[in-house]
DNA sequence: GAAAGAAAACGAAAGTAATCGAAAGCAGCA
DNA sequence: TGCTGCTTTCGATTACTTTCGTTTTCTTTC
């Protein structure tokens, strides 16, 4: 393993190593590349933000190593209280008679769980997890635009359903994201899904981002909404005050829950 | 089982083991993974919290799945044997590489359950039950054309996804029906769904009807395929011989299973 | 079948070691 | 001069252990 390579080369080599060996350790990579463990952790964080690896304690594994059910379960398990609070607050923004779009994030699923007392609401979603959740809610009308099954997120992906959605009048769209920063706005780890979300943001009358504190300051590989395009951000109390202030300065109504 | 795996990998492997063997024991897992029983119990607790396993005394069993030890009678309640046989026969008509349409009938679901050993198969379906079933089959590519949720059948209805389907080359379409007679052909109880099925029959290169004996001679309100449009009927041994003969006279290959 | 005792399993708590990530500072380069 | 990439430092977090009181299950006896 060569030393004195560029940052980009090192990250490429690290990714290659993760994929070849199936598991890497921070300590080993630090020794191999002749850089500090903090630098390796920074590299792995970048690769994780692009959805290429999954960070583990002491190292990383290839994205896709874990089964779809477990990947989904791990995502749902993160910040459960924050997501529930954000979900409840998101549901409170939904009025009887509304047509809303819920994306495939686990925070949008938390919103769906709080719709049991709403009436005449239409939910448009490509999340199979949300469809399953709303099967027991006869008061909610569910529309699924369609696409190809992506097991890791129990959702349907692709742009084919956009024509369907364009025919609908969607009052509010609720979007999770991999990260949010003032410069990059809302970002995702999948370029393809970011492209679809970008169109959806344009189709919704009101855009609501639902993010827990861990998402602030983090950047995924593709942006899908600038701060100016966001009407509301619902987040929890741990959200960093400085970034919240910058979002508010850009005109976003930030709800801390 | 290698040591030095991460927590996520261990839990993935534990979940896999639960699903493969149908039952696991804390003591065995502790020995296999080289960690304490408390750690294994913590792992199982997390998997149980997420609804992936059910904790038992001393171990765990799969969640939402029949354990191999459960009685055959309970399996029968789960799905009648005739449908399972028809489903198995339907799956045998599906070749690796095929793109097939499965409708939202419970017999089509039986087909989906027999696809675990197929490769490179694309399933096009609006049945949420089938999507859920195929979540565990990474070898099967799933496409969902989309529509409005119909809770009674865990499926999506409506003609909106037809444009999507028209772009696809579907070798075989598998259709359940409310009834089949020589005069009316295949019939359904929903005029709306019959209209969609009629279009779908026209889009599939080969049309396969999957019907148990109770469907012969029965008539729903709307027809969606004449006998001449049907290539194969898969049915069980109790199908009435005279109606079977008439179908055969009309050029249908009837498979009795 | 009920009761009693023993064994197995559980989960909470506390402790330890490893790992993490934020922050600050420095060097090199355009 | 400002930016990038790297370092060190250090408080926080994670993952695992052992211990021990509690609970559940099994076995034996009546």
Domain residue spans of chain B: 7-62, 79-256
For residue B63, the chain A residue with the least C-alpha distance is A69
Pairwise CA distance, residues B230 & B206, whole Å: 8
Residue A57 has its nearest CB partner, among B6, B15, B156, at: B6
What is the predicted ipTM? 0.84
SS3 state at A55:
strand
Pairwise CA distance, residues A54 & A44, whole Å: 9
pLDDT at B79: 53
Give the pLDDT mean for A103-129. 92
Phi-psi region at A4: left, alpha or beta (left = phi > 0; alpha = psi -120 to 50): left
Q: How far is CA A81 from the centre of its chain?
A: 17
C-alpha distances (whole Å) from A103 to each of A27, A157, B170 are 38, 11, 29
R_g of chain A computed on alpha carbons? 19
* CA–C1' gap, B38 and C5, in angstroms: 26
End-to-end CA distance of chain A: give it in Å, rounded. 48
DSSP B127: B
| Highest CATH level, class, for A7-65 | mainly alpha
Contact B38, B27 (CB under 8 A): no
* CA–C1' gap, A201 and C2, in angstroms: 68
* CA–C1' gap, B55 and D25, in angstroms: 15
Count of A-B CB contacts under 8 Å: 107
Question: Which chain A residues in 152-181 lie under 8 Å from chain B, judged by CB atoms?
Answer: 154, 156, 160-161, 163-164
What are the DSSP calls for B1-21, one per residue?
Answer: --SS--HHHHHHHHHHHHHHH
Greatest C-alpha distance within chain B: 69
| Highest CATH level, class, for B79-256 | alpha beta
pLDDT at A140: 94
B238 band by pLDDT with thresholds 50, 70 and 90: confident
pLDDT at B71: 38
Q: Which residues contact A6 (CB under 8 A, 6 or more apart)?
A: none
* Strand D: residues with CB below 7 A: A 6-7, 10, 34-36, 38-39, 42, 57; B 6-7, 10, 34-36, 38-39, 42, 57
pLDDT exceeds 90 at position B29: yes
Residue, of B67 and B250, whose pLDDT is higher: B250
Pairwise CA distance, residues B5 & A24, whole Å: 10
B69 band by pLDDT with thresholds 50, 70 and 90: very low
pLDDT exceeds 70 at position B65: no
Give me the CATH topology for the region B7-62: Arc Repressor Mutant, subunit A (1.10.10)
Q: Which residue has the tokens 């024509």?
A: A163
- B35 in contact with A at a CB cutoff of 8 Å? no
Pairwise CA distance, residues A35 & A29, whole Å: 8
Q: Which residues contact B202 (CB under 8 A, 6 or more apart)?
A: none
pLDDT at B2: 40
Residue A146 has its nearest CB partner, among B141, B154, B161, at: B161
Residue, of B77 and B257, whose pLDDT is higher: B257
Q: Please report residues of B whose CB lies closer than 8 A to that of A153.
A: none
**Å from B51 to nearest chain A CA?**
9
Tokens of B186: 């295949």
pLDDT at A127: 95
pLDDT exceeds 60 at position A47: yes
- B64 in contact with A at a CB cutoff of 8 Å? no
pLDDT at A213: 87
Q: In whole numbers, what is the pLDDT of chain A averaged over residues?
A: 90
A130 band by pLDDT with thresholds 50, 70 and 90: very high
Q: In whole numbers, what is the pLDDT of chain B averaged over residues?
A: 88
Q: Please report residues of B whose CB lies closer than 8 A to that of A138.
A: 151
Q: Please report residues of A whose CB lies closer than 8 A to that of B131.
A: 128, 149
pLDDT exceeds 80 at position A4: no
Pairwise CA distance, residues B93 & B257, whole Å: 13
Report CA dihedral (A15, A17, A21, A25) to the nearest 10 degrees: -90
Q: For B154-208, write each residue's pLDDT tens digit.
A: 899 988 888 888 888 999 999 999 999 999 999 998 898 899 999 999 999 999 9
pLDDT exceeds 70 at position B153: yes
Q: Does domain A75-256 have CATH number 3.40.50.10470?
A: yes
SS3 state at A70:
helix
C-alpha distances (whole Å) from B214 to each of B104, B113, B123 are 18, 22, 27
pLDDT at A145: 94
Q: Which nucleotide is nearest to A60 (CA to C1')?
A: C19
CB contact under 8 A, B8 and A74: yes
Q: In percent, how much of chain A has pLDDT > 70?
A: 98
- The two domains A7-65 and A75-256 share their CATH topology (first three levels equal): no
Pairwise CA distance, residues A135 & A146, whole Å: 17
Report CA dihedral (B124, B127, B129, B131) to the nearest 10 degrees: 30
Contact A147, A161 (CB under 8 A): yes
**Å from A44 to nearest chain B CA?**
15
């Amino acid at each position: 393993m060569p030393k004195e390579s560029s940052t980009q080369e090192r990250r490429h080599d690290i990714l290659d190593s993760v994929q070849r060996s199936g598991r890497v350790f921070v300590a080993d990579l630090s020794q191999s590349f002749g850089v500090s463990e903090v630098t390796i952790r920074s590299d792995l964080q970048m690769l994780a933000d692009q959805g290429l690896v999954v960070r583990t304690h002491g190292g990383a594994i290839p994205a896709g190593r874990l089964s779809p059910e477990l990947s989904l379960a791990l995502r749902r398990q993160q910040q459960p209280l924050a997501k529930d609070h954000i979900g409840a607050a998101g549901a409170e923004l939904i009025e009887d008679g509304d047509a809303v779009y819920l994306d495939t994030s686990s925070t949008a699923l938390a919103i769906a769980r709080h719709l049991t007392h709403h009436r005449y609401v239409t939910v448009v979603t490509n999340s199979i997890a949300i469809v399953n959740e709303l099967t027991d809610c006869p008061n909610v009308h569910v529309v699924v635009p369609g696409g190809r099954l992506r097991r890791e997120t129990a959702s349907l992906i692709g742009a084919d359903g956009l024509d369907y959605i364009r025919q609908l009048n969607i009052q509010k769209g609720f979007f999770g994201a991999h990260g949010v920063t003032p410069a990059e706005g809302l970002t995702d780890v999948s370029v393809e899904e970011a492209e679809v979300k970008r169109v959806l943001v344009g189709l919704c009358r009101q855009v609501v981002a639902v993010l827990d504190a861990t998402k602030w300051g983090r950047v995924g590989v593709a942006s899908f909404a600038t701060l100016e395009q966001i009407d509301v951000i619902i987040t929890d109390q741990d959200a960093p005050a400085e970034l919240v202030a910058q979002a508010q300065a850009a005109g976003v109504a930030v709800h801390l829950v």
